[in-house]
Structure 1
Amino acid sequence: MGELVDRVDERDVVLGVVDREEAVRSRWLHRIATVVCRDGEGRFLVHRRPAGMSRFPGQVNWMLGGAAGVGESYEEAAARELAEELGVIVRPRFVFKFLCDGVISPYWLAVHEAVITGPLRPDPEEIAWYAWVTESELADMAGREDFVADAREAFARYRALPARPAHPGAS
């Protein structure tokens, strides 16, 4: 059995434990935690996924993250994914979550923010390239064909938040 996740319902209530690949294949809801990284100037981190990735190979994303493990909170999963993918230890701040229909499978997507001021140590198996961009530059990138579609929806929802600071405070 591969990576285990909580299968959840339309209200994000746990129904049981399943293999993530089975959840994707069967289109069962599960939980995904992501982090939007900002620097001290408020710029966003964007990255390209390696060409050999099983999900969204070679595509650009503005979020880091992955599946929440069994019994793991969104915040715990976001912090773990940030450490694994970027080599950064910070406590991300929860911003919002929504039920994402998803290109590959439906899931609950939780979006967090973190201010990154120290050095990055990206995992080359997760991140092929990265850069810091302004919100305007990110908006342009989000319109491109090589931008992860699910990330495009999350970006639109993020920009529509009523009271969004210029950039989040450091945690």
Structure 2
Amino acid sequence: MTPSDEILDIVDENDEVIGQAPRGEATARGLRHRCVFIEVRDAEGRVFVHRRTATKLVFPSHYDMFVGGVVGAGESYDGAALREAEEELGVSGLPEPEPLFRFLYTSAEHTWWSAVYQVRCELPVVPQAEEVAWHTFLDDRELEARLDEWLWVPDGLDAYRRLKEFRAL
């Protein structure tokens, strides 16, 4: 099965399930589904930053300050957050990511309910080659300095700005 074949729950504006569709169809038709964004920090408090592979279905070769992805059909946000974080970082035994908030991401082409999490990873990471072309850990100042320099995934950039606002409250 390819990532495009993965079955997703399709949700309405209230995040209620109204159907299911393969991921490729959901993307092509702009069907609203669910995603998780996990901010990963190392023992020194630096943020895991990576560039997505050129083969990604959505936002190929873009930079991201979150790991994460789609929530599978019948899967919980919490379950997806742990699964996605461990898969993309190439670790097992990661602590449960802490849920922070949810928001509806919408653009001209995409829409999904988004759950934002944070987790500390003190394990050595071996990022999944199918997902991550390059990675590093950046402190907050270094990350901010690169926001205008690198091509970031738009949904991650939106989540990052919302996370900064959330923490400022």
The question of a shared fold, defined as TM-score above 0.5 by the shorter chain, is answered with yes
Structure 1 residues 147 and 88: CA distance shift in structure 2, 3 A: same
- AA aligned to 2:60 is P
How far off is 1:5 after superposition? 0.6
CA RMSD of aligned residues (A): 1.7
How many positions carry a matched residue from both structures? 164
Cα offsets for 1:45-76 (capped at 9, x unmatched): 10011223232222110111111011111110
How far off is 1:156 after superposition? 0.6
How far off is 1:163 after superposition? 5.4
- AA aligned to 1:96 is F
Structure 2 gap ranges (5+):
none
TM-score (norm 2): 0.89
Task: Note if contact 1:97-1:108 (Cα within 8 Å) is conserved in structure 2.
Answer: yes
Shifted more, 90-99 versus 155-164: the winner is 155-164
Task: Give secondary structure in 1 for the equivalent of 2:136.
Answer: strand
Structure 1 gap ranges (5+):
165-171
Partner Cα distance (1:103, 1:87) in 2: 33
Q: Is 2:132 the counterpart of 1:131?
A: no
Q: Is 2:45 the counterpart of 1:42?
A: yes
TM-score (norm 1): 0.88
Runs of 4+ that moved beyond 4 A: none
Task: Note if contact 2:53-2:130 (Cα within 8 Å) is conserved in structure 1.
Answer: yes
Cα offsets for 1:119-138 (capped at 9, x unmatched): 11111111111111111211
Partner Cα distance (1:6, 1:118) in 2: 32
How far off is 1:27 after superposition? 1.7
